Amino acid sequence: MYSGSIVKKATAMARRSVLLALIGAGMSVAVFTGQHLTHELHNHTLSQKLITAHQSAADILLADERLTMSAHMAAETGEKMWIDRYNENIPLIDQAINRALKIAPPHLRSFFDNETRIANRHLVILEMNALRAAQLGRTKEARSILDSVDYHYNKGVLSRGTNRFNKKMIDSVFTDVDAADEKAHVWFGLALSITLIGGVLLWRRLSGSLEKSEFAFLEAEDRIRHLARHDALTGLANRHSFREILDGTLTKAAVSGASIAILMLDLKGLKKINDTKGHLIGDLVLTEVAKRLVKTLSDKGHAARFGGDEFVCLIETTSREEATEITNAFVSSLEQPVVGQDFSVHVGASVGIAFYPDDARDYEDLIRKADLALRKAKPEDTSKIIEYHRRMDEELNERAQLEEELKTGISAGQVVPYYQPIVDLETEQVECFEILSRWEHPTRGLIPPDDFIPLAESSGSIGDLTLSVLRTACITVKALPGNVSIALNIAPQQIQDDWLVQGLLGVITETGFPPERLEVELVENALVSDLAAAKTIITSLKNLGIRVALDDFGTGYSSLCYLSELPFDKIKIDRSFITNIPQREENVKIVNAIVGLGRSLGFHTVAEGVETEEDADFLRMIGCPSAQGFYYAKPTPGCDLPELMASLKQPDVQQAIA
């Protein structure tokens, strides 16, 4: 970016050119008047061209920064919102490049088009690949694309090409000014008849016009600088600018011995506001939150917006208590609603804090540790402030180690299926086994699913885990007497896996397990994110003869909607309605209604969480076809299935054992 001194130099050169034109204009009032008007129009055109060049360069860099931010956030979170934001910003950079090309001379236009547009095209391809990987849950692959040498090379080409375009445009303007000078010399001989007074008056007029042009140059340059260093919506510093501020503060603190607190803030409830009120209201909320943050910090620190609903603050503090007090003041300020002309909404904040020099001593480590603390605060339903502690790094390392062990364990067959029977309430015979995964770790012992399923989901291993336990279950249950089915749970993010159906088909084909004896269970969370994708998956499964069940029915606000939209075969009543049901009057009514609904719609209904004979008797009395729970059996390893089935009056098994 060019400084104000360069702009002043350009306007000073223009002044000298006009002065020469004025001296030459003395030849004739008529000639002078024509020359003056032509020269003024020409300089105005050049000024506008240079301003447009500055603005186009700024727009290109700003649009590229937004694309980069959206791609990185999508790669980090996998959230569809950032993919949408990315797609919204793609036309902006193309429009900025096209505006630049319109004002460029032919030789510069070709150079700029071949360099900058091609670099931008390569960047878009890389970023789209990263977004596709993020959509598939492969966030590690997405981040590797955005951290690749090719990506950073094209980023550099785009930035350098844009800056060179800006410089070459200025050079082009100077060339045009020089051409105007030469033309003024030609008219020099015609300018002798103008009087000194007329020349002075005309000079003052042109000088005022040039001062306005100079002001326009400086104003445009200041705007470009501001856009490059600040968030366009809130006016806060952006990530790049905040790093410069923090690096400078750390340098001073190293000498003075001062303490610094870094706050990472994530707003709670903004997504709901965007979904229900619209993004315009969401942007107004972000702007108001930024104002409250700046007001709370006062002169004690700096604030920046890192993107989306995430903010970061630097507080130069004398103690942890002071930093916590300021943070509490900001969180308290959010308790007041954000009120507009026709809306009133509430937001909260999760906050993670790290301190210099106690926790870290450089920018990257401070931000990372504040973010670790923020992750601990995020799951809370209400606003929460958490300070970094070294155990967070230990937990992170432990999680990373467990993640690697899980990948190895899946490959080694350590994750095995346990089986819980679903029983026909009339005959009390087993009609199906639900597959429940257990990790038989060689050193940690038996690990329950709540401890490793979320890890498999977040690390992208859930697909391999699902197919591994299904393969074992198909082999085990196929060897049992009778035609018992198996029910397999599918994680919500697997709905987005284009290869899910092919993977399931591959396993049942490989093991020879009949597809009509396989059930796939989906929870409501799997349907909320993408109903269209869920519909496609369910239809494909049913076309193969695989049955589909809606698990935990009754806990979601839109379960009834899904029954009408999606072709389920079975609904499973959530255990929260079943346990000790005869003593819970409201649950009796709900379960009665669900069983009746299933009967009228032709769904097979299963009650989960049956723990007592009284529960089973009640369900049998109201006509519920099937039940599942500890009353019949706890999850059982495959080797114990024949004995379990025999104990549950399974005649085929009793006969086989006899």
Of the listed ranges 62-66, 352-356, 617-621, 628-632, the one predicted with least confidence: 62-66
Tokens of 195: 């009087």
Higher pLDDT, residue 471 or 51: 471
Residues of the domain holding 317: 239-388
In a domain, residue 195? The reply is yes
Of the listed ranges 453-462, 463-472, 555-564, 599-608, the one predicted with least confidence: 555-564
Taking residues 134-153, report their average pLDDT.
Answer: 79
Taking residues 491-519, report their average pLDDT.
Answer: 93
- Residue 330 sits in the same domain as residue 420: no
- Residue 168 sits in the same domain as residue 267: no
- Residue 135 sits in the same domain as residue 268: no
**Closest to 143 in 3D by CA, of 159, 126, 158, 157:** 126
pLDDT at 657: 43
In a domain, residue 530? The reply is yes
CATH number (domain holding residue 255): 3.30.70.270
Residue 30 pLDDT class (50, 70, 90 cuts):
low
In a domain, residue 408? The reply is no
CATH number (domain holding residue 484): 3.20.20.450
pLDDT at 514: 96
pLDDT at 199: 61
Domain boundary among 206, 229, 252: 229
Residue 627 pLDDT class (50, 70, 90 cuts):
very high
- Residue 217 sits in the same domain as residue 244: no
Angle (nearest 5°) at CA 182 between 178 and 186: 165
Of the listed ranges 71-75, 486-490, 632-636, the one predicted with least confidence: 71-75
pLDDT at 391: 92
- Residue 150 sits in the same domain as residue 248: no
**536-562 residue pLDDT tens:** 999 999 999 999 999 988 776 556 777
Split into its structural domains, the chain has a count of 3
- Residue 221 sits in the same domain as residue 246: no
- Residue 21 sits in the same domain as residue 129: yes
**354-400 residue pLDDT tens:** 999 999 999 999 999 999 999 988 887 788 899 999 999 888 888 88
In a domain, residue 515? The reply is yes
Of the listed ranges 278-287, 365-374, 575-584, the one predicted with least confidence: 575-584
Q: Residue 537: CA atoms inside 13 Å, Cβ hemisphere, count? A: 26
CA distance 566 to 570: 11
CA distance 406 to 412: 10
Residue 654 pLDDT class (50, 70, 90 cuts):
very low
In a domain, residue 407? The reply is no
**417-438 residue pLDDT tens:** 999 999 999 988 999 999 999 9
- Residue 112 sits in the same domain as residue 193: yes
Domain boundary among 202, 229, 256: 229
Taking residues 599-624, report their average pLDDT.
Answer: 93
In a domain, residue 509? The reply is yes
Q: Is residue 502's pLDDT more than 90?
A: yes
- Residue 219 sits in the same domain as residue 264: no
- Residue 364 sits in the same domain as residue 252: yes
Q: Is residue 187's pLDDT more than 70?
A: no
Cβ distance 310 to 301 under 8 Å? no
Distance of CA 21 to the CA centre of its chain: 59
Residue 29 pLDDT class (50, 70, 90 cuts):
low
**256-270 residue pLDDT tens:** 888 999 999 999 988
Domain boundary among 229, 257, 285: 229
Taking residues 237-244, report their average pLDDT.
Answer: 91
Torsion, Cα of 528, 533, 534, 535 (10° steps): 120
Alpha helices in 257-346 (DSSP H): 270-277, 279-297, 320-333
- Residue 245 sits in the same domain as residue 213: no
- Residue 481 sits in the same domain as residue 373: no
In a domain, residue 395? The reply is no
Whole-model pTM: value is 0.57
In a domain, residue 220? The reply is yes
Kind of pairing between the strands at 384-387 and 485-490: unpaired
Taking residues 95-106, report their average pLDDT.
Answer: 74
pLDDT at 633: 94
Taking residues 626-632, report their average pLDDT.
Answer: 95
Q: Give 495: exposed, middle or buried? Use CB within 10 Å, 0-12, 13-18, 19+.
A: buried
DSSP three-state, residue 395:
helix
